[in-house]
Structure 1
Amino acid sequence: MHSFAKRCALVVATLSATASALDGIVAPSQVEAGSEIEVTFQGSNDDQYRVYLAASLSGSNGPTCYLVNSTELSDSVNVTIPPGVGPSADYYSIGIADLSTGQKATFSNRFNLTNATGEYSDYEDALGGSPFWSADDLPCSAYSCARDCAQASYPDDLTDTDAYDMMKQCILNCNGVTPATSQTAPAHATSTSSIAKASTLTGQMAVITVSPGVVLTAIETEKTVHGSTITEAVIGDMTITLNGAARTINSAGFSLATNGVEVGGSTTVEFSSTTATMGGPTATEAQLAASSSGSAANNKFFAGAAAGFAGLAFVL
């Protein structure tokens, strides 16, 4: 009986925890940064909750920073999104986590954020949507300050411990930020995706004609940053990420789409099913033929291995 009673108590506790999850979180479809909005939900009780802003930059929702750290909820909560947290876009949502039970955040519908003034930094672009600080320890009001700290030490803080520690101390000086146990080392300290550090980089390729006689080769790869899988493409000594900011190379704007590289915001060059190696053996003529025009395929193709020239092709 004693063992049976313990099992029953465990089942009751589990059901109670499950019942405390919030359902039907609804945010307005249009949200103006800097203005208070009401977010409604169902299933709240006298537990303590944390309310987050989430940005779906890497294809899935994840908390970016918190709007309310710890509070009791009834049927709704009023929040204000600081304009500097990010750019105006339609990939934002509100997340709410139950701190009393330890349940992870559930999310609202995505909404279109307007009047936002924040711009993603090169440091954030390099992370491809993965947060650079734990959302549990970063108030949204301090996000702009933390972003400035990360950019001030960029790019060394991605790989160098001393530069990372300087960035970390700067972020901790931002109002309201607390230490994050998940941030212990530079994000790319052991990454094989860094052209400057890696000897080779292999992935599907897309060959993009930039001007007569010169093409750029994009290599598509994946990497894991703080537990999130990020899709990116390396073009020369630049890296572009899925849903990240466009980068300018040879006066052309490049951004990463799900099926290829967008050039100038109008043309998409798709990745071939053929893989190529950058920084190691040169791509073969057959690999070039798989993802470029027939005329280019008849020429020899060399991929430079050094940073600043990796992926730059010369048609001879």
Structure 2
Amino acid sequence: MIAANLLKAGLMMAGAVGPAVAQASSMPITAPKQVTVDTETHVTLAENLFTSPVRIYLTLSPAQGNAHEGDWDNVCYLVNSTDGSNTDVKFTIPALVAPDGAKVRISVAPTVADPEPNPDNDPDKPISSKQYYFSGEAVLEGGKGIWSKPELGGFERIGTADQVPCTAYDCVRQCGVKYYLNDFDGENPYAVKSVYECNAACPGVTMKSWAEVTGQSTPDTQTSQQGSSTAMPTVPSTTSTVSLTASSTVSSSSTPSTSASSSSTFSISGEGSFVSTLRAAISFLGALLIL
């Protein structure tokens, strides 16, 4: 229990999960008020919005009627890269991303995060950030997805929308269903690692291996709190300093207006700088397992 909570804390400090800072802007991205799954959809970007390549994301808010209602999260990308000078962008939304009638937004941001100035070498400051522009709300027609318990509980999601094509989002959702025990409250010390590795195995997902991200080898066999055993390969230790990145969650206090022509921009922290904390948490977990 203690080890699992430390592991979760390490991931949050490393930037794998957690809220982002939002700031409103008048720069527009316009989407239809209704979008249909498996059908070509167009959005309009303002001229001169970007000069570099951009990525188009699907933004969801599944937690209706509870404490997380109004939270919006970039969950996957619809277009991996397109020229920033394009004003008309088209894509198709897969049916399994959300239920019929779900509220969605479309967002856009540069494919490459901007370096974050840090003249004082503050270790608590993110090393990069992105500026996201969001459309107004739209209603999804024909959706066949089913909200999962982790989604309804508030987006404690491993990985980022930059790593997940929308064709793989339901696979990522099912990983959460399988491994997030008790709403990911720390009851299962392997939940974080299991979800990460499951997500990384989904088709088209571009996440680094757990060992590469954490610099830790894994036990040959791990047992969940329910008593089942899962064989895990032993991966040599690495000294990689790659850090996990933050998910782009937007709090309800900064939610833009619901007009289809409205838009907002959000400065979202990118890579964190607390990999050492994550490694320490995992090392502590390993020590407890040996005991």
Q: Deviations along 1:273-309, whole A, 9 cap, x unmatched?
A: xxxxxxxxxxxxxxxxxxxxxxxxxxxxxxxxxxxxx
Where in structure 2 are there 5+ consecutive unaligned residues? 1-24, 63-67, 115-129, 215-245, 253-291
Q: Deviations along 1:158-182, whole A, 9 cap, x unmatched?
A: 222323322221111101112279x
Paired position in structure 2 for 1:81: 93
8 Å contact kept, 1:39–1:78: yes
1:175 equivalenced with 2:203 (yes/no): yes
Shift of 1:129: 4.0
Paired position in structure 2 for 1:235: none
1:166 equivalenced with 2:194 (yes/no): yes
1:120 equivalenced with 2:147 (yes/no): yes
1:30 to 27, 30, 34: 34
Equivalence map 1:128-277=2 (5 Å): 128-155=154-181, 158=184, 159=186, 160-179=188-207
Cα distance 1:142–1:101, how it changes in 2: closer, same or farther (>3 A)? closer
Higher Rg of the two aligned structures: 1
8 Å contact kept, 1:130–1:228: no
SS of residue in 2 equivalent to 1:89: coil
Paired position in structure 1 for 2:79: 68
Paired position in structure 2 for 1:50: 55
Paired position in structure 1 for 2:3: none
8 Å contact kept, 2:150–2:156: no
Higher relative contact order (CA 8 A, sep 6+): 2
SS of residue in 1 equivalent to 2:72: coil
Cα distance 1:70–1:174, how it changes in 2: closer, same or farther (>3 A)? same
d(CA) in 1 for partners of 2:156, 2:165: 17
Shift of 1:122: 1.8
d(CA) in 1 for partners of 2:77, 2:105: 12
Identical columns (%): 31
Shift of 1:90: 4.7
User: RMSD between aligned alpha carbons?
Assistant: 3.3
Amino acid at match of 1:136: D
d(CA) in 2 for partners of 1:230, 1:77: 27
Amino acid at match of 1:106: Y
1:95 equivalenced with 2:107 (yes/no): yes
Shift of 1:86: 1.2
Q: Provide runs of 4+ in structure 1 moved above 6 Å.
A: none
Cα distance 1:72–1:226, how it changes in 2: closer, same or farther (>3 A)? closer
SS of residue in 2 equivalent to 1:50: strand
Q: Which has the higher strand share?
A: 1
SS of residue in 2 equivalent to 1:54: strand
1:39 equivalenced with 2:48 (yes/no): no
TM-score (norm 1): 0.47
Paired position in structure 1 for 2:121: none
SS of residue in 2 equivalent to 1:34: coil
Shift of 1:227: 8.7
Q: Deviations along 1:39-61, whole A, 9 cap, x unmatched?
A: 11112454110100001344143
Cα distance 1:45–1:113, how it changes in 2: closer, same or farther (>3 A)? same
Shift of 1:105: 1.0
SS of residue in 2 equivalent to 1:65: strand
Aligned length: 170
8 Å contact kept, 2:77–2:162: yes
Amino acid at match of 2:99: P
Cα distance 1:23–1:177, how it changes in 2: closer, same or farther (>3 A)? same
Shift of 1:91: 2.2
d(CA) in 1 for partners of 2:169, 2:74: 12
8 Å contact kept, 1:157–1:164: no
d(CA) in 2 for partners of 1:104, 1:61: 15
8 Å contact kept, 2:31–2:106: yes
d(CA) in 1 for partners of 2:164, 2:95: 16
Where in structure 1 are there 5+ consecutive unaligned residues? 1-20, 185-224, 232-316
d(CA) in 1 for partners of 2:248, 2:164: 18
SS of residue in 2 equivalent to 1:170: helix
